[in-house]
Structure 1
Amino acid sequence: MRADLADLASRLITARRTGVPVPADAVPGGDLTDSDAYAVQALVAQTLGPVGGFKVACKPGHPRIMAPILARDILGTPAHLAVPASERIGIELELGFRVLAPLPPADVPDRDARLADCLSLVPVIEIVRTRLAGEAAPMLKLADNQINGALVVGPDLPDWRGRDLSRVTARLTAGNRTLLDGPAEVPGFGAFENFKVLEALVGEHCGGLRPGHVVITGSLNGLPWLSPGTVIKGRIEGVGAVALALESRG
């Protein structure tokens, strides 16, 4: 393992443990590759794991990327999360999948149907936080688990097959502020197709996909940044509701 990547992983681990971010200009970032970023993700997961899921980004015109979500950061709804009073937190309402059983081999007949049988649909709120202070290069953000901070997971919906998961009707509020109310598109190819992109990308990265993992598929509402002291409530029509009390600490 390259010394610079091991050093970056060590700094990110320390930042997670102490809450003190790493100055973005104190670590290399401009010449990192995606392979470098994934190597750092794996080192962090080895120390702070296990991994409890993954996120995937499938934005048109951009490389497809992924990041692990640590099991310690996955919360059930309604959740409470205390963060420093001065920190701004990103909030994304998303469709997710919980893996219920080992996934079928790639070459089995009717694989999409068999794959779908291994998954339940869940509403989620992703909490976006960075361990990097200042303006960080994209590959540094990817190394920092694509700035995932936590995940709130709503109730499972096993009977979801046959639904159009490229577009939903949803509502998301933060206190008295409405962040989303109406139709919303899943970025990329739709939630199930995005899951398959993640499956193809992940291989054995950070241990690979396992039963119990949650995979999230892209924000329905962009990325608004909120202050602590806010109650966030989300609902995806026909899927379920999820809630988070974002509390102030210190």
Structure 2
Amino acid sequence: MTHPQDLAAKLLQARRTHTLLDPASLTSCTPANADEAYLVQQLVLDELGGCAGYKIGAKSPTAEPQCSPLPTTKVFGAATGIRRGDYAFIGLELEIAFSFSEDVDHRLSERPDEVIDAIDAMSVVVEVVDSRFENWRKADPLLQLADLQNNGALVIGDTRPYDRNFDFSTPTVSFFYGDQPIFQGAARHPAGDPRRLIAWLVARTLETGHSIPARTVLTTGSYTPFYLATGPGIVRGTIEGFGKIEFEIK
């Protein structure tokens, strides 16, 4: 990819107009590796007004994680809800997010156990999945990574103090769109214990000489199947022993 600015500009235009790009037309813009995709992410984020958090994910307990910043303008409390007209489509995923009470910088060890012990709060959240690509599931994974890993928004529900003894790997959850059940029962996180993703992000951030501001929202991947919402409705999710989220798609 010779000019990352070209792909960033196309992604920004697609976001503003809620139109979809044909991935086949972007051969010359496709990142060659993850580093190039992360560069495009940053160019997009700079135009969207800054970062309120990160989404982090891994496809298995041993897979290398990937991350994407969450634009400040696309992180909402549940009471705010979201508007259908702001997205090309609306996919829903129930997740857990974490945050720190203080800035994460060189003063915090890169040792995973110490990073995890420093977590201060955890929240029930729903990621709104959106894309700037036609047939997005078949788009080059590096294009998806450049496109903020298909992020549309993050909606935050109940938040409580961090409980290190909670079962983050296999909690019992329920997730509904209106009266339609999306998932009910014992869930399994694809990354195993999602807190390992927090440790990975902190190590990556400190390695590059950057920091993570206090209360940055760090969401860690879905416990539930992807669900495509159609029409207005109420989204409701519960993680037993933890908390709930409820918000409106208007």
What's the TM-score, normalizing by structure 2?
0.87
Aligned ranges 1:49-64 → 2 under 5 Å: 49-60=49-60, 62-64=63-65
The whole-number CA distance in structure 1 between the counterparts of 2:183 and 2:121 is: 24
Secondary structure in 2 aligned to 1:157?
Answer: strand
**8 Å Cα contact 2:116-2:198 kept in structure 1:** no
Partner in structure 2 of residue 197 of structure 1: 200
Secondary structure in 2 aligned to 1:22?
Answer: coil
Say yes or no: does 1:21 pair with 2:6: no
Partner in structure 2 of residue 97 of structure 1: 98
Partner in structure 2 of residue 4 of structure 1: 3
1:219-247 Cα distance to aligned partner (Å, 9 max, x none): 01121212131211011112211122122
The whole-number CA distance in structure 1 between the counterparts of 2:143 and 2:209 is: 18
Aligned ranges 1:192-231 → 2 under 5 Å: 192-203=195-206, 208-231=211-234
Q: 1:75 to 1:206 in 2, by over 3 A?
A: farther
Q: What amino acid is aligned across from residue 94 of structure 1 in structure 2?
A: E
CA displacement at 1:204 relative to structure 2: 7.3
Gapped regions of structure 2 (runs ≥ 5):
none
The alignment yields a C-alpha RMSD, in angstroms, of 2.5
Secondary structure in 2 aligned to 1:12?
Answer: helix
CA displacement at 1:182 relative to structure 2: 1.4
Q: 1:36 to 1:97 in 2, by over 3 A?
A: same
Aligned ranges 1:1-250 → 2 under 5 Å: 3-28=2-27, 32-60=32-60, 62-84=63-85, 87-103=88-104, 104-106=107-109, 112=113, 115-134=116-135, 135-203=138-206, 208-247=211-250
Total equivalences in the alignment: 244
The whole-number CA distance in structure 2 between the counterparts of 1:242 and 1:165 is: 17
Q: 1:115 to 1:3 in 2, by over 3 A?
A: same
After superposing the two structures, state which structure 1 stretch, 204-213 or 133-142, moved more. 204-213
The whole-number CA distance in structure 1 between the counterparts of 2:34 and 2:232 is: 36
Secondary structure in 1 aligned to 2:84?
Answer: strand
Secondary structure in 1 aligned to 2:82?
Answer: strand
After superposing the two structures, state which structure 1 stretch, 142-151 or 174-183, moved more. 174-183
**8 Å Cα contact 2:182-2:225 kept in structure 1:** no
**8 Å Cα contact 1:68-1:206 kept in structure 2:** no
CA displacement at 1:84 relative to structure 2: 3.7
Q: 1:203 to 1:70 in 2, by over 3 A?
A: farther
| Identity of matched residues, % | 27
Q: 1:85 to 1:127 in 2, by over 3 A?
A: closer
Q: What amino acid is aligned across from residue 140 of structure 2 in structure 1?
A: A
The whole-number CA distance in structure 2 between the counterparts of 1:40 and 1:205 is: 17
**Which structure: greater strand fraction?**
1
1:78-125 Cα distance to aligned partner (Å, 9 max, x none): 3421124994321000011122212352268xx735643442010000
